[in-house]
Amino acid sequence: MERWLRVDVGTSDGEWNVRFGVNDAKDVVGLRLALRYDPALLQVKEESAEWLVPGGLLVTNALEPGRVIISGALTTPLSQGPNPLVALQFIRQANAGSSTSLWITLDEMLTQLNDGAIPIAEDSLKKFDLQHPTGIKDWMLH
């Protein structure tokens, strides 16, 4: 069954709340989401990472500049249907102009649902611009 990782972006004064979900969360019990960004333009608020579903543990690793990895496990599998999974905030660095593109790129080698049981498809969208989130499309999983 094909699944899509959904991306939703909210913005407020140089800060972005990025929410990631899945179009069908049936049997999802774990997530590893790895994102790359330009640390000269963006800063990740590591402490802002949160599960958007109840009953789980979430750990964030932003030790390498320009990369954040969010890993989590749930106590019970999610049910069928669309479901938001995690949220994370990004902040524009002072030297990033308002017209500069602020790209977030999915690290397809590290991003997985259920320890790789649902890998990212090769032909799907892998990045989006926080400045222009209206063009965001779903990332295909299968």
Tell me whether residue 136 is in a domain: no
> 134 pLDDT band (50/70/90 cuts)?
low
Please check whether residue 22 is in contact with residue 113, taking contact to mean a CB–CB distance below 8 angstroms: yes
Domain of 86, in residue numbers: 3-116
Question: Mind listing the pLDDT tens digit for each residue in 87-130?
Answer: 999 998 887 777 678 899 888 788 888 888 875 555 555 777 88
Domain total of the chain: 1
Tell me whether residue 15 is in a domain: yes
Tell me whether residue 80 is in a domain: yes
**CATH code for position 14:** 2.60.40.680
**Alpha-helical regions (H) of 55-108:** none
Please tell me the predicted confidence (pLDDT) of residue 57.
Answer: 94
Please tell me the predicted confidence (pLDDT) of residue 111.
Answer: 85
Residue 38 has pLDDT above 90, yes or no: yes
Tell me whether residue 79 is in a domain: yes
Would you state the structure tokens that stand for residue 9, as one six-digit string?
């972006």
Please tell me the predicted confidence (pLDDT) of residue 107.
Answer: 84
Question: Mind listing the pLDDT tens digit for each residue in 49-76?
Answer: 999 998 899 999 999 999 999 999 999 9
Separation of alpha carbons 16 and 135, rounded Å: 15
Separation of alpha carbons 44 and 13, rounded Å: 15
For residue 119, give the amino acid letter: P
